[in-house]
């Protein structure tokens, strides 16, 4: 039961991180603030390999392509 709650909490936390990152892209805030599209990279220190999955989920394909090329 405890493991299930931990997994659910982890999943929901990742979703809560991905959602605002996607909004930064769709609303144009990143381009407006930085002058060009840049990837938002999310890092989970307890599961570093998840960074690539999170990057795909948080960004449109263009801005994150160079980062994922190293995947």
pLDDT one-digit tens code per residue, 19-66: 999 999 999 999 999 999 999 999 989 899 999 999 999 999 999 999
On the 0-12 / 13-18 / 19+ scale of CB atoms within 10 A, 64 is buried
Q: How many angstroms separate the most distant Cα atoms in the chain?
A: 47
The pLDDT assigned to 71 comes to 58
Question: What is the rounded average pLDDT of the residues 8-12?
Answer: 93
The domain containing residue 17 runs over which residues? 2-69
Are 20 and 57 spatial neighbours (Cβ–Cβ below 8 Å)? Answer: no
- The total of structural domains in the chain comes to 1
């Amino acid at each position: 039961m405890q493991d299930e709650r931990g997994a659910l909490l982890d999943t929901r936390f990742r979703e809560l991180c991905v959602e605002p990152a996607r909004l930064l892209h769709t609303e144009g805030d990143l381009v407006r603030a930085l002058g060009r599209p840049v990837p938002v990279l999310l890092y989970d220190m307890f599961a570093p390999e998840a960074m690539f999955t999170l990057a795909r989920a948080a960004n449109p394909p263009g801005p994150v392509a160079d980062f994922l090329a190293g995947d």
